């Protein structure tokens, strides 16, 4: 096997065996609640009561998804679904074939691995989208490193240890330009 192929395979193997992973994005889990009950709990800022109806948490407790993954305390309002350029939630019921939409925590940051501590977990008040982006700050202990291409050859010169490191992880949904807008601007040139 060529050296470049061995290095690529070792990189893929190392990623698959990663001991520390952060998963972030629009996981698209919703609330199992009526629109009226959701609206009532939102008006009262009852996040804990709403989170009891969160599909992701329900599925995790049942052991169906993301076993062993952790999520920090959610102490912010739902991140989805807002009216465009607004701070108002967009409620819709299933009428005329539309999907029902109620606010939910679709945007999440989860992690797994030892030596990881979440320092903060919150959301930004950006109005670029019908979502509010979430962000988190972690303290992560970095383990000793050995070159995956040279297993069992670790020496003091081959490895290093960092007792702790901090990294800021942010995710924000970017403003999407529709195909029609893109085509319109392309005809100007």
Tell me: pLDDT of 23 over 90.
yes
CATH number, span 20-186: 3.60.10.10
Give the pLDDT confidence of 68-86 residue by residue, as tens digits.
Answer: 999 999 999 999 999 989 9
Averaged pLDDT, 98-119: 90
Distance linking the first and last C-alpha atoms of the chain = 49
pTM of structure: 0.67
Confidence label for 147 from pLDDT (cuts 50, 70 and 90): low
Sorted by where each begins, the domain ranges of the chain are: 20-186
pLDDT number for residue 18:
73
Instruction: In whole angstroms, give the CA distance from residue 25 to residue 12.
Output: 22
Share the mean pLDDT of the chain.
78
Give me the phi and psi of 172, to 5 degrees please: -140, 130
Element (H, E) at 138: strand 134-142
């Amino acid at each position: 096997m060529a050296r470049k192929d061995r290095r690529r395979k070792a990189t893929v193997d190392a990623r698959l065996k990663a001991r520390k992973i952060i998963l972030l994005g629009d996981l698209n889990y919703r609330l199992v609640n009526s629109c009226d009950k959701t609206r009532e709990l939102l008006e009262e800022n009852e996040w804990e009561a709403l989170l009891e109806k969160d599909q992701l948490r329900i599925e995790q407790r049942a052991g169906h998804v993301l076993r062993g993954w952790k999520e920090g305390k959610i102490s912010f309002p739902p991140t989805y679904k807002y009216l465009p350029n607004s701070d108002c939630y967009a409620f819709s019921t299933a009428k005329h074939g539309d999907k029902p939409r109620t606010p939910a925590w679709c945007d999440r940051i989860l992690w797994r691995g030892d030596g990881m501590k979440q320092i903060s977990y919150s959301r930004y008040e950006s109005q670029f989208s019908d979502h509010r982006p979430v962000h988190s700050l972690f303290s992560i202990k970095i383990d000793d490193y050995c070159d995956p291409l040279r297993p069992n050859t670790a020496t003091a010169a081959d490895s290093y240890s960092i007792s702790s490191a901090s990294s800021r992880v942010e995710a924000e949904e970017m403003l999407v330009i529709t195909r029609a807008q893109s085509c319109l601007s392309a005809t100007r040139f």
